[in-house]
Amino acid sequence: MPIRILIIEDHTDNLELMSYLLKAFGYRTLAAGDGLTGVALAASQRPDLIICDIQLPGIDGYEVAKRLNRDAELCNIPLIGVTALAMVGDRERVLAAGFDGYIAKPISPETFVGEVEKFLETERRTGAEHLPSFGNGRAEQVDAADKPSVASRGTILVVDDHEENRELARSIFEPSGYTVLLAGDITSAMKLATETPPDLILSDVNMPQGTGRELVVRVKADPRLESIPVILISSSVPTEMSGEHFLAVGAAMFLRRPIDPDILLKAIESCMGALRR
């Protein structure tokens, strides 16, 4: 029976990233967006492990730990805290509150599953020590003989001011054979696109230093880049705003978060396929 892991996290992007990584290694995930729902799910579903954010709406992670630990049927479930640990003494406070361990934010796609598996019995692990590299944005020396000769399916430029969104995209696209470029704002995105023209651009809509809509306009106004399809994605655009608003300025597609990774990959493949025809 697959190991079931409950994730209690109110940040949609963090929840998606953790769920995606765990599912990729055969773990089944349950999700709760607040502490009270998390405690209720733990009681009704009895997961094998619980990952809990410290800062939550309603009751925080410390209260979640307190309620789980005073329940005789739940207190033995491994409980991992997720926190930025920004203050002196936070680590000690997390462990003293009843957590068995903690993982610092922002989580690393390369190491996350391995960190979680430390709290599972060895024979119940799926083998995350063989986790494929999702990259860390730094150049690494790799022996040519050891480097797999897999042709890239294309290059995707991901533009988002949130690091966790960029890493989520990387963790989806790189294992599927795409080369991924990352930018945190429109200025950096345009510079990257000009220096290394991608086959497709995936951009968030709302960013502090310029919107995805503005990026589409700039890309389509540049003769060197105008043929590159741009997909816009957002979780904060009002539902009454139609995708036609973005298609009118030249976007190839508009998607809403949260989105299943398989659906996102199919959208990417569809746009790239249209470009090749």
Distant-in-sequence, close-in-space partners of 194: CB < 8 Å, separation ≥ 6: 222, 224, 225
Model pLDDT, residue 163: 85
Tell me if 212 sits within 8 A of 189, measured CB to CB. no
How do the pLDDT tens digits run along the chain, 277 residues long? 789 999 999 988 888 889 888 888 889 999 999 999 999 999 999 999 999 999 999 999 999 999 999 999 999 999 999 987 656 667 788 889 999 998 888 788 878 888 999 998 876 666 544 444 333 333 333 333 333 334 478 999 999 998 888 888 888 888 788 999 999 999 999 999 999 999 999 999 988 888 999 999 999 999 999 999 999 998 877 665 667 888 999 999 999 887 777 788 889 999 987 666 5
Give the integer Cα–Cα distance in Å for 199 and 181.
Answer: 11
The pLDDT of residue 164: 81
**The predicted structure's pLDDT at residue 140:** 33
| Residue given tokens 């705003």 in the structure block | 241
Could you tell me if 119 and 78 are in contact, meaning their C-beta atoms sit under 8 angstroms apart?
Answer: yes
DSSP annotation of 138? S
* Residue position matching structure tokens 């150049």: 139
Instruction: Tell me whether strands 28-32 and 4-8 are parallel, antiparallel or unpaired.
Output: parallel
User: Six-digit token pair at 19?
Assistant: 């769920």
Contact 75/104 with Cβ under 8 angstroms? no
| HSE-up (13 A, CA, CB side) for residue 223 | 0
Q: Look at residue 139 in the predicted model and tell me its pLDDT.
A: 30
Predicted TM-score (pTM) of this structure = 0.55
Residue with tokens 């993982």: 103
State the pLDDT at residue 276: 60
Give the residue from 117, 40, 102, 32 showing the smallest Cα distance to 74. Answer: 40
User: Given this model, what pLDDT does residue 180 score?
Assistant: 93
For strands 79-83 and 49-53, give the pairing. Answer: parallel
pLDDT at 171: 81
Alpha carbons within 13 angstroms on the beta-carbon side of residue 231 total 22
